[in-house]
């Protein structure tokens, strides 16, 4: 299964789907695009302390969230896959067809395009939160 940033972030911030996503990732072989792995840090760097259920010192927040992402990836044995030329081309196509501003209801962002590309390139289902990918032709991991 391919893991989108949104699934890792849901676990990190204890969102309603967190346990379900954790269980799926713990029981399946999971792969994440290197671009999505970077996107996890981009998202968590913008996080505020109110997203956590435990006290986090605001000055330590970025270091805490990066360690937390790394721990999730390590503990769940998520493989980080380098972006190939083929995947870069698929991501470009995904943005043209489904990206924000394309007119598609998917409105994929930059990171979403790389999750899409890895899923298409490997013909693996994609685990994600939300409905963005429902409006694409990517295989969806049915929960």
Task: Yes or no: say if 119 and 30 are a contact pair by the CB < 8 Å rule.
Answer: no
User: Residue written as tokens 């598609």?
Assistant: 104
Determine whether the annotation assigns residue 77 to a binding site: no
Taking Cα atoms as reference points, which of 142, 118, 120, 143 lies closest to residue 3? 118
What is the distance between the alpha carbons of residues 104 and 82, in angstroms, rounded to a whole number?
Answer: 27
Question: 33: which 2 tokens?
Answer: 């695009």
Task: Yes or no: say if 135 and 142 are a contact pair by the CB < 8 Å rule.
Answer: no
Determine whether the annotation assigns residue 112 to a binding site: yes
What is the distance between the alpha carbons of residues 75 and 11, in angstroms, rounded to a whole number?
Answer: 12
Binding site feature residues = 4, 112
Binding site feature residues for Mg(2+) = 4, 112
């Amino acid at each position: 299964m391919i893991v989108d940033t949104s699934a890792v972030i849901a676990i990190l911030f204890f969102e309603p789907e967190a346990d379900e996503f954790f269980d799926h990732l713990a029981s399946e072989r999971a792969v994440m695009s290197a671009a999505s792995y970077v996107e996890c840090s981009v998202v968590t760097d913008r996080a505020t302390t109110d997203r956590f259920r435990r006290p986090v010192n605001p000055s330590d927040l970025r270091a805490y969230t990066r360690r937390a992402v790394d721990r999730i990836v390590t503990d769940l044995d998520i493989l980080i896959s380098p972006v190939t030329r083929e995947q870069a081309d698929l991501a470009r196509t995904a943005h043209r067809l489904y990206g924000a501003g394309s007119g598609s209801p998917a409105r994929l962002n930059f990171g979403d395009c790389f999750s899409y590309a890895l899923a298409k390139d490997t013909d693996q289902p994609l685990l994600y939160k939300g409905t963005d990918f429902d409006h694409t032709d990517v295989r969806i991991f049915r929960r």
